[in-house]
Chain A
Amino acid sequence: MFLRFVVESLRRAPKRKAMTVAAVAMGSAVATAMLGVMLDVGDKVNRELRSVGANLIVTPKTLASPVEIAGVRAVPVGGAAYIPEDQIPKIKSIFWQLNITGFAPSLTSPSDVPVEGVWFHRRYRTPDGREQQTGIRDLSPAWQIEGRWIDDSDGAPVFDCMAGAAAARKLGLIVGSTAHLIGHDFIVAGILHSGGDEDDRVLVRLSVLQDLLHRPGQVESLQVGAITKPEDAFARKDPKRMSNTELERWNCTNYVSSIAHQINEVLPMAVARPVWRIADSEGRVLSRISGLMLLIALAALVSSGITVWSVMATTVLERRGEIAIMQATGAGDWLIASLFGAEVVMEGLAGGIAGALVGVELAAWVGRSVFRAGIGTPPILIPLVIVVAVLVALLGAAQPLQRSLAVPPALVLREGI
């Protein structure tokens, strides 16, 4: 009997029911999409910010790293002033290995126009045996290139070079011309404009420079790009003074300083330091953008909540006559309330499920059209949104229902309101 009432009611006015369901669906779609985007946008912007450059620099312990401006260099002290190139892939074995988006080892020859040997987009083997590629090209996608990047895969031409814009002007180089560097001729594959130190240098393949300088397998610095969490007060604590649980929490958070600490552990001959110019600013930019997205997600939740609420309220008000008839024929308040409640729950469920599914797509669409990468909405969000949709719908229906029940049925039926 109870069920028949509910089903009948749904069947009798399918258009109005459809509108209610659509409103709930729309509300939950927007809420799902917003939350999905909000939860993911930090990661997306973080990846975007990686194009500013490496946020970690690793230098040999014994050698204070080469001074990089105006061609002035400090003299290396001691013999072991290098990082062995074959040890470098070890940084892909740290806890936060997946957060390391790229790295580029380099060696520099001290001359009037510095020549730097780097990995451009080099294939290497990670400690667990996978083949990957990385290099300066992945770390610095913002550089403007005339000509082309150097191909440093095995078998590609060896004596190619890329000249920084200022170095090219100084040496009179253009794309395709020949540069005489460290006693050897190089073909200029490209001219690069970075605006930074690279503009004054000539870049060659790392292995070539190692051979020419008689420093096989040696690397003087390593730039690392990592996805990090903005630093908070806890991140700035000195790890040496932490308790064990604190240290564990610190290590298991991708702060730039804990990643540096982990790199130090796998490369004991080197010192990893955060590049604060990059690391500091990206934390600030990220927290602001997360704030913006939180705001818009809240706005979305409020507006979809209000939509569901007001549609429910209107539907109940419209059906005052029905309520009065039920009351007049002897139905108790609780029976009427549960009849309406069952209806609302069914509408909320239908709308919530449809909306959550549409919302996942909507989030992915926003991701694709803005960040050129889909947004994966966490699955837990879907049941959560459905439950909340049902609750909001019930709440929206509750107050007008209560008010309608309080009006004497005779009054409603006579007035026809």
Chain B
Amino acid sequence: MFWKFVVAAVKFRRRRLLLAFSSMTVAATLATTLFSIYSEIEGRVRGEFRGYGANLVIAPFSGLATVPLSAVAQAEHLGARASPLLLTTAILDEHPVVLAGLDFGRSQPFTTYWRVQGARTVSGDDCLAGTLAADRFNLAIGRAADLERHPCHVTGIVSTGGPEDNQLILPYDRVAARAQVFGVASLIAVRADGGRLAQVRDDLQSRLPGTDVRLIQAVVQTETAVVLKVRAAFFLLMLVILVITTLSVTSNFSELVLERSREIGILKAIGARERRIAALFVSESALLALLATAAGYIIGNFLAAEIARSIFGGVFTLSAAVPVLLFVGAVTLAVAIVATMLAAARIWRIEPALILRGD
């Protein structure tokens, strides 16, 4: 009987309910979209900081010249990316030049910012020349750099604005062979997930005696500051948006009760109790809210995925997190019920005789 009333009420007032339902759905969609994006901000923005390269460096402890190459495996074991760098000097055209040995299989994530003409990675007897070194020694793509013992073939010119500009960059093995060292690196660049950086650093330091594991403060702190601030700004703005949406939804739902004074009067005249009538309205609103949550959640997730894709690139991935659903559902339900109950207070004040007389 109770539910027959509710369903019938929905059927008879389609237009009015549609308005309430669609405003609620828009609210739920907004909430889902914003909340999904918000929960992903930290990971996504931290991801963008990958471009800054290493946030940890494994350097030799004072007095030593090198670190063991096994540190690379240690870092990778902890879930970080690591790339060794071996430096040595050589004589080119009677002047000293720095040779840098890179493991090109591993160095890729650390060199995304390089501006390169020609090849980006080299193998065998090829090498890359830093732009300043190339100017100084008159090197160009296709020429040979006449290093003592083994000349190398320049296949790319690198410009970074950093120390690489003055170096010749060769595969790690070649530099190690020239320097006659084995299994060591001058330093190892490490990129660990920003969230658990301190722990990775401590683990590495305790496993690698004889090394100095340093946090690159400038990158680490800027990353944290930017992530926190962007998240905070997004959160505040999201809150403001949700508040204003809630208010507009509230007015819609109160309206649902207010416009039906006459029906309430009839119900009271035939002996319905106020609590029962209020329950009728509340269940109607709750039903609407649940439907709107479902619709808003589905639309919102697609919207969030598409927005994330267009802002951060990558592929379209639906995350559809359960906490988001619970949050959105709880909020819409609460708003609908509270709004209806506030308006329902009126039920107690309605005098059936007055309403039915037609005033």
Contacts and interface: CB of A to CB of B under 8 A. Distances in A.
Interface of A: 19, 23, 26-27, 30, 33-34, 37, 41, 44-45, 48-49, 51-53, 56-57, 64-65, 67-70, 72, 74-75, 77, 140, 142-144, 165-166, 169-170, 193-196, 199-200, 273-281, 284-285, 288-289, 291-293, 295-296, 299-300, 302-304, 306-307, 310-311, 313-314, 362, 366, 369-371, 416
B225 A69 contact: no
Given A303-B30, A307-B245, A45 B226 contact: yes
Given A195-B215, A277-B160, A288 B221 contact: no
19 contacts: A30-B241, A30-B244, A45-B229, A72-B89, A74-B96, A74-B98, A77-B95, A166-B214, A194-B217, A195-B57, A288-B311, A289-B45, A295-B311, A296-B34, A296-B234, A303-B27, A303-B30, A306-B248, A370-B232
B163 A280 contact: no
B219 A52 contact: yes
A142 B229 contact: no
Contact of A279 (B48, B49, B161, B233): B161
A292 B238 contact: no
B132 interface: yes
Interface residues of B, number: 82
Contact of A277 (B45, B48, B53, B132): B53
B45 A276 contact: no
A255 B218 CA distance: 22
A304 B241 CA distance: 8
Given A37-B233, A51-B218, A276 B159 contact: yes
B113 to A, nearest CB: 4
Contact of A144 (B165, B217, B232): B217
B207 interface: no
Given A34-B237, A281-B49, A307-B245, 7 more contacts: A26-B247, A51-B221, A143-B218, A166-B214, A196-B218, A277-B113, A416-B358
Contacts of A299: 30, 33-34, 241
B240 interface: yes
A64 B163 contact: no
A178 B15 CA distance: 85
B136 A64 contact: yes
Contact of A142 (B212, B217, B255, B307): B217
Select the residue from A44, A196, A277, A369 with max chain B CB neighbours within 10 A. A277
Contacts of A169: 61-62, 212
A370 B311 contact: no
Nearest to B85: A69
B52 A292 contact: no
Contact of B218 (A45, A53, A74, A292): A53
B161 A274 contact: yes
B273 interface: no
A280 B48 CA distance: 11
B100 to A, nearest CB: 8
B229 A370 contact: yes
Given A166-B62, A276-B160, A65 B132 contact: yes
Given A284-B51, A299-B33, A300-B240, A310 B219 contact: no
Contacts of B70: none
Contacts of B160: 275-277
B320 interface: no
Contact of B186 (A64, A70, A307): A70
B148 interface: no
Contacts of A68: 163
A53 to B, nearest CB: 5
A34 B238 CA distance: 10
Interface string B158-200: 0111110111000000000000000000110000000000000
Interface string B95-134: 1111000000000000011110000000000000000110
